[in-house]
């Protein structure tokens, strides 16, 4: 029997978390707009490169700091290259150049600085605590792990994405990701609450197993990291395009992109997220196969969910393989990454909406 008080508390705190995340987004936006710190948005006069320097900037896939995308993503020396350097076109005048913030170079404080950034990150952490409280209350109310349907699953994976955001912000000084990660999180949670909401209740018999706490939890962790990595990859593609245009002299530096790390740093951060997410996703598939043997008497039956989980695994495996063996960096690797994320989204949404299978009980409410 569900405890209506706990269920109501869970609903209210989730709505409050959405509102707090929205306020955090506003604070992050104000930080981009109004905070001027030398390490983030300083502009240095452009100088024409010498003849000795010119070949290094042509045909080398250089980013706005002159970094090659072919650099080993695991090479710690890459971080040292994220110093503030001019990226203006040859012969550009003052105001035509942009500089590279040193977010990942170890020169920024581990904790956020500036009123708006501190406020934004504080609100993000507060919203995360509210969301964790909401999920916990629902689980206590139902006497089970609270991710047995689509409503609960979306709440859980968005919570995981925000948790990954806060950890990455502290570990890699990636506070600049707050606005961009919270945007899809808020949209997903709004749809979850308004369209997909499912009242608290017991699991269908097929899900009443301890394997749900193993298999689905691993999927939640992996998807949270995949969401973070996909957002970083989109920013990387935009940043790389801006850098190319600035280097070619067809665009001026400035704006929100000038306050982000260079494309090479974003590419590296995205790669790291997949390095952590892929083993978790692999474990989730293996655990799901074991659970399937317990529930249905076979490890693998090419159910739509199983099939698309495997397709997603193959695409992300191709991404890691291409980077590790073929040395793919930059746009080609980013495209593979986003194809994998598109497969993941189709598995989460498309399969539930349009394809009937053994996992249909986890779909949208009728």
d(C-alpha 269, C-alpha 232), whole Å = 7
Q: Note whether residue 49 is domain-resident.
A: no
Q: How far apart are CA 56 and CA 183, in angstroms?
A: 38
Higher-pLDDT residue of 329, 320? 320
pLDDT band at 270; cut points 50, 70, 90: very high
167 vs 366, more confident: 167
Looking at the domain assignment, is residue 70 inside a domain?
Answer: no
Question: Model pTM greater than 0.85?
Answer: no
How far, CA to CA in Å, does 26 sit from each of 15, 131, 168, 188, 328?
Answer: 17, 19, 20, 18, 36
Instruction: Determine, yes or no, domain membership for 40.
Output: no
Confirm whether 104 is domain-assigned: no
Q: How many domains does the chain have?
A: 1
Q: Residue 327 — left, alpha, or beta (φ > 0 → left; ψ -120 to 50 → alpha)?
A: left
Q: What is the pLDDT of residue 256?
A: 82
**Lowest-confidence region among 73-87, 157-171, 237-251, 294-308:** 73-87
Residues sharing a CB contact under 8 Å with residue 192, sequence separation 6 or more, in sequence order:
151, 154, 155, 158
Q: Which residue has the higher pLDDT, 244 or 356?
A: 244
Q: What share of the chain is helix, strand, coil (3-state, %, to 5)?
A: 65, 0, 35
Task: Give the mean pLDDT of 268-273.
Answer: 94
Mean pLDDT over 97-101 rounds to 39
pLDDT of residue 325: 83
The verdict on residue 41 lying in a domain is no
Backbone angles phi, psi at 310, to 5 degrees: -70, -40
Least confident of 18-22, 86-90, 342-346: 86-90
Cα–Cα distance measured from residue 355 to residue 352, given in angstroms and rounded to the nearest whole number: 6
Q: Kindly tell me if the per-residue pLDDT of 94 is higher than 60.
A: no
Rounded CA-CA distance 107/114 in Å is 16
What are the two backbone dihedrals, phi and then psi, of residue 120, each rounded to the nearest 5 degrees? -65, -45
CA torsion angle for 278, 280, 282, 284 (degrees, to 10)? -140
Q: What is the pLDDT of residue 326?
A: 72
Closest CA to 69 of 334, 258, 338: 334
Q: 104: pLDDT confidence band, cut at 50, 70 and 90?
A: very low
Inside any domain, residue 318: yes
Domain membership of residue 68 (yes or no) is no
176 to each of 4, 113, 217, 287, 340, how far by Cα in Å? 39, 12, 28, 35, 24
Residues 6+ positions from 359 with CB-CB distance below 8 Å: 303, 304, 305, 351, 352
Domain with 191, as residue range(s), is 4-35+109-362
User: Does residue 48 lie within any of the structural domains?
Assistant: no
Residue 38 above 60 pLDDT? no
- Is residue 32 predicted with pLDDT exceeding 60? yes
Q: How far apart are the first and last CA of the chain?
A: 21
Looking at the chain, the whole-number percentage of residues with pLDDT higher than 90 is 54
């Amino acid at each position: 029997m569900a405890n209506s008080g706990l269920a109501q508390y869970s609903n209210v705190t989730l709505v409050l978390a959405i509102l707090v995340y929205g306020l955090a987004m506003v604070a992050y936006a104000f930080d981009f707009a109004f905070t001027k710190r030398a390490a983030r948005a300083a502009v240095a006069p452009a100088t024409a490169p010498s003849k000795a320097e010119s070949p290094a900037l042509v045909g080398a896939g250089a980013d706005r700091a002159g970094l090659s995308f072919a650099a080993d993503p695991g090479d710690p020396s890459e971080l040292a290259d994220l110093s503030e350097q001019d990226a203006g076109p040859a012969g550009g005048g003052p105001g035509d150049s942009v500089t590279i913030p040193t977010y990942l170079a170890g020169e920024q404080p581990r904790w956020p600085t500036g009123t708006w950034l501190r406020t934004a990150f504080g609100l993000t952490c507060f919203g995360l605590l509210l969301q964790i409280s909401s999920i916990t209350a629902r689980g206590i109310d139902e006497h089970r792990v609270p991710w047995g349907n689509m409503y609960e699953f979306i709440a859980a994976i968005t919570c995981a994405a925000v948790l990954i955001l806060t950890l990455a912000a502290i570990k890699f000084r990636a506070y600049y990701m707050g606005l961009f990660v919270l945007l899809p999180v808020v949209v997903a949670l709004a749809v979850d609450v308004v369209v997909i909401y499912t009242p608290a209740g017991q699991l269908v018999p097929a899900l009443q197993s301890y394997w749900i706490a193993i298999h689905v939890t691993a999927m939640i962790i992996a998807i949270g990291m995949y969401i973070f990595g996909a957002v970083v990859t989109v920013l990387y593609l935009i940043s790389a395009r801006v850098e190319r245009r600035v280097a070619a002299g067809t665009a001026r530096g400035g704006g929100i992109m000038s306050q982000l790390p260079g494309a090479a740093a974003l590419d590296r951060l995205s790669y790291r997220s997949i390095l952590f997410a892929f083993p978790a996703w692999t474990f989730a598939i293996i655990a799901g196969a074991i659970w399937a043997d317990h529930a249905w008497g076979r490890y693998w039956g090419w159910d739509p969910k199983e099939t698309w989980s495997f397709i997603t695994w193959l695409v992300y495996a191709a991404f890691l393989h291409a980077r590790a063996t073929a040395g793919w960096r930059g746009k080609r690797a980013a495209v593979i990454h986003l194809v994998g994320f598109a497969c993941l989204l189709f598995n989460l949404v498309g399969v539930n909406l349009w394809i009937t299978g053994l996992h249909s009980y986890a779909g949208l409410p009728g």
